[in-house]
A and B are shown apart, each in its own frame.
Chain A
Amino acid sequence: MKKYGRLLLAAVLMVAAFAGTAQADAQITIALGSEPTTLDPQIREDGGERAVNDNIYDTVLGRTPEGDLIPSLAVRMPELVDAQTWEVTLRSGITFHNGEPLNADAVVYSIKRVIDPEFNSEQISFFSTIKDARATGDLTLHVITDGPDPILPTRLYWLKVVPPKYSKDPKFAENPVGTGPYRFVTWQRGQHIDLVRNEDYWGPAPQITSVRYRFIEEPGTRLAGLMAGEFDLITNLLPEFTAHVPKSVNVLGLEHPIIILNADKGVTRDVRVRKALNYAVDKQALAKGLFEGFAQVAQGQLLSPSFFGYNDQVKAYPYDPDKARKLIQEAGAAGQTIELIGTSGRWLKDRDLVEAVADYWKKAGLDVKVRIFEFNEYLNRLFDRKTRADSIFVVSSNELLDADKSFSAYYKAGGVGASNTDETLADLIDAARSETDEQKRESLYHQAVELAHDQAYFVWLLNIEDIYGLSQRLVWPGRVDARLLVKEMRIQ
């Protein structure tokens, strides 16, 4: 009997051990394209750093996977006190991983830290309108903006809150401490970063217990790692690789390849030519041929449907080569030269897109001069405010999911990449920038979208989908804002 007792004990232990491994097995490995250079969440503007820190830190506001703003560290959406002051109320009882309390002081500190000119954050463009912040209670604070800023809630979605005491420690950039669902464990530079579940997380407990990040620049090697079973999730899966992975997830992303047309000079000065350039391009074919269908035709605007300001009444110029040819002839532009500037290797299929568009334009009757530059040289032309090229290809990405950022840069006269001097359009964008009534603001953007579409200031091409490769066991629906939130993943 004693012997059997021992056997039974051994069996129980084995089952327990198995159960233990099953529990411990809730760990995943994610392969990213680039390694973070620092884990201080407020310095760099860098996708690799964000992918990791989005799990260590919480932001004041969050977004649903579909892109709607929701409270996160804040207990409710911020409220306007006066035109320039927003009141934020925080959840109570949250602490950082090192025990520091999350309170109004911590948020005020984080805001002041990131906007401090001495700190020189690369993220400054996300917070440029914030002038000041002050605590009004233990859990309430006021954020003061430089003029009315309706986008402030969106900015707070970007604001990661850091611990006031510990973040002054030089070790902070290597050993981050946040309030998020995962705690930092280790960072072997060049190799991997490990995080483990924060058992005291204030939100619902995530299923995944630990996550390892690996950094692999070469897409083929990332794919091989997924196929070999080493990874559970890989980012930026190439469209042509989707057939080889166990599972893939694709979500309409934040990136829009467009062509900026010079509305003031050259052959593109004539609106008929600009329209013709839109009609001439078969966007559907580009999405299919170059992106294997992992891209949608952009609906005549530099916005994804999830962005604030998206106008669902405006549609893409249909593919109509005859109409394009006719318009070009009407404008007397047949055979004239148009310069198309692009770059190579910066964005997915950038060069292919430019060359395909040039072909369509040639068929419409123009003499197209494609000029592909090295990225820095290309940027010199994109940002050249004195002489604007006839047409410049660019891929615009908008992490704030609000029209302001894209429109200020490309639509508004004088913006870093704008090639028009349309005062009416600029006024609409300016008005929207300080309009705090959400509906009025949205209608201003709808007008701006329509105006730019009618004037054909751009050739809107596509809205690219983000593609992820997943292992068989990982379940994750993806997010429109491209954040890799491990708390939303689970394994079967």
Chain B
Amino acid sequence: MGRFIYRRLIHGLIVIFGVTIIVFVVTRMVGDPVQVMLPLESTLEQRAAFEKKLGLDRPIYIQFGEFLGNIARLDFGESLWQKRPAMDIVFEKLPMTILLTAVGIGFACVAAIPLGIIAALRPGGMVDRVTVFGSLLGLSVPQFWLGLLFIVLFAVQFKILPTSGAATPAHIIMPALTMGLPTLARLVMLVRSSMIDELNQQYVKTSFAKGLPFVRVVGLHALRNAGLPVMTLVGWEVIRSLAGYSVVVETVFAWPGIGLTAIQAIERDDLILIQAIVFTAAVCVVAINIAMDFIYKLIDPRLKLT
């Protein structure tokens, strides 16, 4: 176990380090933040002075050395765009995205498991067909369109929910739904197919033959075995949204999260903030992956953590 944690941590550090270096190199290769930050009509002298002030005129290896020293202290420096420490911005925005992800994907899980099981109990039945159709619909509808549809329906027409922002608990309903519905669709399909597989296994038939109660067989034995692929998908969905896929939902609902901030930082060529965000995203991905391994072990004690 100790060995497992040790090895995964080493792997994680390599991944994080690798990602950060790639981001460092790429951001410095493609863009010139000074060009984007100053008004178009600024003179060349003004641009040069500004660049010097930001320290971006120094040789890249010196910048890189400084950058490595900063990472070690988890200090990425001041955001070029916001003029305050990049990590402050990340810590301000990340909780909002975590909240949105938790509510959105939490909702998807809570709804997907019973739906998927019911559909799996009678493949080809009415419930199954409706579920499959609904899932396909949920998978095909673009998220931004779904978000705008919700706004037009619930905020503009019925006026029961606020259009955008994050001021009250009511503000999270529409963004979380928009975020959760495609996830729900993917999850339902997976729960359904995994459960169909499990329910056809010999041990399920044996359990029924032994006279074990229906709920126990389906809800405990079968579901537990079907749980592994489902957990993999949930983990992937969480990673996706924390690593910036939440950007569509956050933009449509003006939700002040990390995805929206990431896209704004990219638009403004804010090297420092982009680095901080990518670094944080990498840490999240690694942490969730390690956590997922533990959850697998919890669900299926036969698995060996190596």
A residues neighboring B (CB under 8 Å): 34, 37-38, 43-45, 117, 120, 122, 124-125, 128, 173, 188-192, 214-218, 220-221, 224-225, 227-230, 375-377, 379-380, 382-383, 385, 394, 396-398, 405-406, 408-410, 416-417
Contacts and interface: CB of A to CB of B under 8 A. Distances in A.
B82 A214 contact: no
Nearest to A225: B163
Contacts of B256: 189-191
B156 A228 contact: yes
Contacts of A380: 32, 35
B41 A416 contact: yes
Contacts of B96: 190
B254 A217 contact: yes
A230 B162 CA distance: 8
B92 A190 contact: yes
Interface in B256-270: 256, 260, 264, 267, 269
Contact of A120 (B50, B151, B254, B269): B50
Contacts of A224: 148, 151-152, 155-156, 163-164
Interface in B33-60: 35-44, 46, 49-50, 53-54
B41 A408 contact: yes
14 contacts: A38-B83, A45-B38, A120-B50, A122-B39, A190-B92, A190-B96, A217-B260, A221-B253, A224-B148, A376-B269, A379-B35, A410-B41, A416-B43, A417-B40
A377 B54 CA distance: 21
B159 A409 contact: no
B251 interface: yes
A385 B48 CA distance: 15
Given A191-B165, A224-B152, A379-B36, A125 B41 contact: yes
Nearest to A216: B254
A216 B163 CA distance: 10
B148 A220 contact: yes
B93 interface: yes
Contact of A221 (B49, B50, B252, B264): B252
A405 B43 CA distance: 10
A37 B39 CA distance: 17
Nearest to A217: B251
A191 B156 contact: no
Contacts of A122: 37-39, 50
A37 B166 contact: no
Contacts of B82: 37-38
B31 interface: yes
B296 interface: no
A208 to B, nearest CB: 21
B17 interface: no
B159 A125 contact: no
A124 B165 CA distance: 34
B31 A376 contact: yes
Nearest to A120: B53
A191 B171 CA distance: 11
Nearest to A221: B164
Given A38-B82, A189-B256, A376-B35, A229 B164 contact: no
A217 B93 CA distance: 16
A454 B256 CA distance: 51
Contacts of B163: 221, 224-225, 228, 230
A418 to B, nearest CB: 11
Interface pairs A-B: 8 shortest CB-CB: A190-B256, A409-B41, A37-B82, A216-B254, A225-B163, A120-B53, A376-B31, A379-B35
